Amino acid sequence: MGFDVIPSIDVRAGKCVRLVQGDYARETIYGDDPAAVAEAWTAAGAAVIHVVDLDGARSGRPANLGALRDIRAATRATLQFGGGLRDDAAIEDAIHAGADRVVLGTALLTRPQWVVELRRRLGDRLVVGIDARDGRIAAEGWTRTSAVATDDLVDRANALGVRWGLYTDIGRDGTLDGPNVAALADVVERASFAVLASGGVASLDDLVAIRTIGAAGAIVGRALYTGQIKLEGAISRLANEADEC
């Protein structure tokens, strides 16, 4: 099975930033030009880039589509975009701005029938977000934690027949503390869809562990920006180890 190392470009007010555990008060700015960052990740070998509209996630409506258009012009990589996609118009706007895949989080929790309609219409271009905090699902840009257990939302995604799911452990997001391997393993074992992992990736060994569990890919953010992971080297190592299996 293939495995994608997926750099994340989180956009807030048009800048490339990283948050810690989704906390907007704990922001680090890594650049004023997200398109230039996308170009650099593409040059390093990224086949997929994850773009998050942080303003959109909090407000409920995409706010950085201009940055997405600029990123689209800078790369041929598959662009996976999320943040504020809560109605058909927002999804169409994101696709027209250059998104190849769209990520829905809140909708899986609150509007499962809409997710079914989107799956029929978009097929493999739809990614459902499973954002967990201490075993419970968070929504609305991670500003609200529901009573729904992670396992229950995975079961719902299975029943809806989705192709892709993005599992994020919010407690690890942006911390460089390593992924929650046990929780991720539970999700991968339970899911009938391909799982992308996010949260805490800090080393090549973390990426190897995520792939070994059976995930289809991993989102990498802060570790790339700090230089703890070199994207080109990570992609090469994972590809070489896969060839040896």
174, 204 Cβ separation under 8 angstroms: no
Closest Cα to residue 62, out of 100, 22, 102? 102
- Catalytic (active site) residue 100: no
Phi, psi of 219 (to 5 degrees): -85, 130
Of 4, 10, 55, 173, the active-site residue reads 10
Q: Coil, strand, or helix at residue 77?
A: coil
Of 131, 169, 173, 206, the active-site residue reads 131
169, 201 Cβ separation under 8 angstroms: no
195, 165 Cβ separation under 8 angstroms: yes
- Write down how long the chain is: 245
- Catalytic (active site) residue 124: no
**Helices 204-213 and 231-244 sit at what angle, rounded to 10 degrees?**
40
Active site positions, annotated = 10, 131
